[in-house]
Amino acid sequence: MKLSGAEIFIECLKAENVDTIFGYPGGAVLYLYDEIYKAEERGDIRHILSRHEQGAVHAAEGYAKSTDKPGVCIVTSGPGATNAVTGIADAYMDSVPLVVISGQVPRALIGNDSFQEIDIVGITRPCVKHNFLVTKIEDIAPTMRKAFYLATTGRPGPVLVDIPKDLTNPDVYKTEFKYPKNLKMRSYQPTIVGNKRQIKNALDMILKSKKPILYAGGGVVSSRASKELTEFGRAFNFPVTTTLMGLGTYPSKDKQYLGMPGMHGTLEANRSMHYADLIICVGARFDDRVTGDLTKFSPYAKVIHIDIDPTSISKNVKAHNPIVGDVKQVLGTLLGMMKDQKLKPDLSAFDNWWKDIEEWRAVDCLSYDQGDDEILAQFVVEKLSDITGGDGYVSSDVGQHQMWAAQYYKFNHPNRWINSAGLGTMGFGLPAAMGIQLAHPDEAVSCITGDGSIQMCIQELSTCKQYDLPLNIINLNNGHLGMVRQWQEFFYEERYAQTYLKSTPDFVKLAEAYGHVGVKIEKPADVEGALREAIKDTKRLHFLDFITVAQGNVYPMIPAGYGHNEMYLNKQDAIDDMKAKTKK
Amino acid sequence: MRHIISILMENETGALSRVSGLFSQRGYNIESLTVAPTDDPTLSRMTLVTQGNDASIEQIVKQLNKLIDVVKVMEMSDYQHIEREIMFVKVAADNMEACASIKRMADIFRANVIDVKNKMYTIEVTGRPDKLDGFLETMVDHKVIEVVRSGAMGITRGSNALKV
C-alpha cells in the first residue's frame, strides 16, 4: 500500500517505538500534524504541545536524559525552526540523543526567500551531530532511520531532519513504506570496544600510582555505566569526583566520593585533582570549567582517558593513555581482566593519599550558617535532598542556584540530575522538568531555578497545566542575576550592571494565573513544610517562591586563571586576594 | 608546519560546507582546498592544505573523522607522496623583449603557453606549490594580469591508497 509522506513519518516513529513527541504546529508541518492527530486518536502516539519551540526541545531533552530513549520533537519552518536552535545547541553540547523534525517550505519555493523559509540545515550545521534535508518522498523513511541511529549510537547527539511541505502532501506524492532494518553507514562506525593493550596498560598505570583520582563525567550516564564505575572505584578504593554532567553516577553519600571538581567544586576534589599522580578520566572531557587555567592544571598527573569520542581525548589535556571506546565496555573489560588475573587490589595502597584528602575534606568547604531570619539557598537545596533521600528527579536552570543544586543535592543514582551544563542555557529547567515528569509520571520532579532563569521559559507553566504535571518549582529568588552579580562583585568593583531585576513579578499570583499553587516562603522555619507539602501533592504543580539572601555567593570558587590549589572559600579570601593583586 | 590532508567523503549536498564550516568554527586555517568527485560517483575527494603543530593536526584529523559524511581521512605528510598544483598565469606580452623573456621562463619551468591573444600570454604551470611560487617570482618584472591556482592535491606513492 502506498502511503503519503506524512503517513510514512508516523510509521517511522512507530517503528522506532516513539510514544511521546514534543512540538508546536505551523504552516509547513500541517500535513504532519494532520497525521499526528489521527495517530493520537488511534492511541499510537502522544503529542505534547509546548508554548514555545525552545520549550519543546528542552522538554524532549529532559525526557531523553531521564530515560534510555531519544527525545523527539517537531517544529515548523522559519521561526519555529530558529526557536528550536537553542535547544538543539544545548543537546549538542550535552550529548543528548534527540531527533528534531522541522518542516520546510515546499521544494519549489526553497531558495526564494519564501514566507517562513530559513535554511535551518545551514543554521544548525555547527550544533548538530548531523542533519538532513529530505529531497524526495522515498528518502523519508531511510533518513528517519539514519537520524535515530545517529542520535542514539556512539556519542549521542541531536539530529535534525528538514522535510519540505510538498513531500508530506497526500495529494501530491505517495510511495511504499519500507523501513530499513539493518543500517550500515560506511562513514560512521563508532569505536565501542576499547583496545585491550591500552586497557592492560591502564591497569599497570593504576597499580603503579600512589595518588590516583577517578574523574567521571556525562559519558558514564550516556553509557549507563554507573554500576561498572562504582564497582571499579570501590575495587581500588579510589577517591572519586564527578563532573556537573556526571552527578549521580557514583553515589554521593559514599565515603570515597569527593564531590564535584572545577570552578565551584569542593576543596577536596580540586586539591585531589591538583596533587594527583594519576587521573583516570571516564567519559569526561576536561571542560574549561573543570580545568581552569590549563597551564596550572594538575601538574603531576599522568592521564588515562576513556571516551567514545576520540576528539575529546587530548583536546585540552594530553592523555598518556588514550582509550577510545564505550565507557561501559571498557570498564567491563577492565574489571574482567582483574578477575582473570585474580587481582585483588590492596585497599590500603592509597592510605597516605587518603590522609591528605581527609585533611582537605575536614575544612568542610560547603558549610554554611543558616540563621533564623533570611533563607539561604543552600539550605533549601539541602532540605530538598534530605526529604527526597537523594532519589528525586531534579532539573535546574543556569546560575548560582544550579551550582548550589549540584553542591548540596546528594544524588545516589544517574539520570536524576538534568541540567544544562555545556551550553549553560537559562530557561532549560522548567521545560526539561516537564519532559522528566512525562517520562516518570509517578515520581517527584523538582525544578531548581532562580528568578532570572525561570522567566526565560515561564510560558511553559501553561503546558504544565494542560498536561497536569505536578512539578515542584523551587524558585531561589534573590532578585538578582546572581551568578553574573557575583562576578561583578569580585571582578568589576561591585558595579552591578543590569543584574538587579527591579520588577520581578509576583510569582505566587503568576503561578495562580496559570492555574497552579503558588507559595511564597520567607522564613527558614517554613522551608521544610513548603517542600513537603509540594512533594506530597501529586496532583498539582507547586510554585515555591523562596525569598533568599539577595547577595549570596557560590563558594568555593576558583577564579579564572587560577590553579586548583588556589580557591576562594569565602568572601574574605576574595577580598584579600584582590588587595594583594592591586598592591602588585 | 604545513600539512596536506586528503579526505574521502560522501558526495552529498552540504558535505563541503561541513568540512569548511568545521575549519572556521574551530579556528583552523585553510591554505587551500580542492574537491571533486572520484571514479566512484558516490564519493568526493578533497585535498586540504593547513598549518599547525602536531597536536592541532591530530585534533583536525579527529574532528574531520567525526563528521558523519567523511568516510576516510589521510594525512599525506605521514606517507611518501606526490603533490601537484596547477596554475594559470595571464601576463602582458606587449613587446618582443617581454615575449621572449616570458617564453624562456615558461620553458625553464616546463610550463606551457596555452593561449596568446590581444598581446596576452596565458601560461599553464604544473608542479609542487613552491615551484608555482617560484615561477610567479620570475614574473615580477612583467605585468601579471591574473593568476588562478587550483590548490594542491596529493597521492601516496606505491601501494598505500586512500580508498574505501
Residue A458 CA to residue A434 CA, distance in Å, equals 12
Query: Same domain for A448 and A331?
Result: no
Please return the burial class of A503, using the count of CB atoms within 10 Å of its CB with bins 0-12, 13-18 and 19+: exposed
CB contact under 8 A, B58 and A150: no
Residue A296 CA to residue B63 CA, distance in Å, equals 26
Q: What is the DSSP letter of A500?
A: B
Query: Same domain for A329 and A399?
Result: no
Choose from A311, A313, A316 for mutation: most chain B CBs within 10 A: A311
CB contact under 8 A, B17 and A133: no
Predicted local confidence at residue A583, as pLDDT: 63
Nearest-Cα distance to chain B for A285, in Å, is 14
**Sign for the pseudo-dihedral over CA of A110, A113, A117, A121:** positive
Nearest by CB: A187 against B58, B59, B71: B71
Query: Same domain for A343 and A389?
Result: no
Average pLDDT over residues A533-555: 96
Smallest CA-to-CA distance from A91 within A322, A423, A534 is with: A423
**For residue A182, what pLDDT band results from cuts at 50, 70 and 90?**
confident
State the CATH number of the domain containing residue A110: 3.40.50.970
Task: Cis check for the bond before A524: say yes or no (omega within 30 of 0).
Answer: no
Residue A378 CA to residue A395 CA, distance in Å, equals 16
Smallest CA-to-CA distance from A256 within A241, A267, A270, A243 is with: A241
Smallest CA-to-CA distance from B133 within B149, B110, B118, B113 is with: B149
Predicted local confidence at residue A561, as pLDDT: 83
- Evaluate whether residue A565 is within a structural domain: no
Smallest CA-to-CA distance from A273 within A283, A252, A258 is with: A258
Length of chain B, please? 164
Smallest CA-to-CA distance from A177 within A397, A308, A344, A7 is with: A7
Nearest-Cα distance to chain A for B157, in Å, is 25
Sequence-ordered list of residues with C-beta below 8 angstroms from that of A517, at least 6 positions apart, any chain? A511, A534, A537, A540, A541, A542, A543
CB contact under 8 A, A187 and B9: yes
A·B CB contacts under 8 A: 37
* CATH fold group of domain B2-78: Alpha-Beta Plaits (3.30.70)
Query: Same domain for A230 and A350?
Result: yes
Predicted local confidence at residue A560, as pLDDT: 81
| C-beta of residue A454 within 8 angstroms of C-beta of residue A478 | no
What burial letters (b/e) apply to A85-106, b meaning 16+ CB within 10 Å? bbbbbbbbbbbbbbbbbbbbbb
Helices (H), B67-108: 96-108
State the Cα torsion B29-B35-B41-B42 to the nearest 10°. 10
How many domains, chain A?
A: 3
Look at residue A570 and tell me whether its pLDDT is greater than 90.
no
The phi and psi torsions of A65 (rounded to 5 degrees) equal: -70, -25
Query: Same domain for A102 and A31?
Result: yes
The catalytic residues of A are 53, 115-116, 165, 483
Nearest residue in chain A measured CA to CA from B61: A311
Nearest-Cα distance to chain B for A477, in Å, is 37
CB contact under 8 A, B14 and A185: no
Residue A381 CA to residue A368 CA, distance in Å, equals 12
CB contact under 8 A, A310 and B66: yes
Query: Same domain for A461 and A519?
Result: yes
**Boundaries of every domain in chain B:** 2-78, 83-152
Which architecture does CATH list for B83-152? 2-Layer Sandwich (3.30)
Query: Same domain for A272 and A229?
Result: yes
CB contact under 8 A, B62 and A310: yes
The grid coordinates listed for A291 are 580545568
Nearest residue in chain B measured CA to CA from A135: B13
**For residue A579, what pLDDT band results from cuts at 50, 70 and 90?**
confident
CB of A496 less than 8 A from some CB of B: no
Residue B54 CA to residue B38 CA, distance in Å, equals 29
Look at residue A99 and tell me whether its pLDDT is greater than 90.
yes
Q: What is the DSSP letter of A374?
A: S
Average pLDDT over residues B113-131: 96
**For residue B107, what pLDDT band results from cuts at 50, 70 and 90?**
very high
| pLDDT tens by residue, A483-506 | 999 999 988 989 999 998 878 999
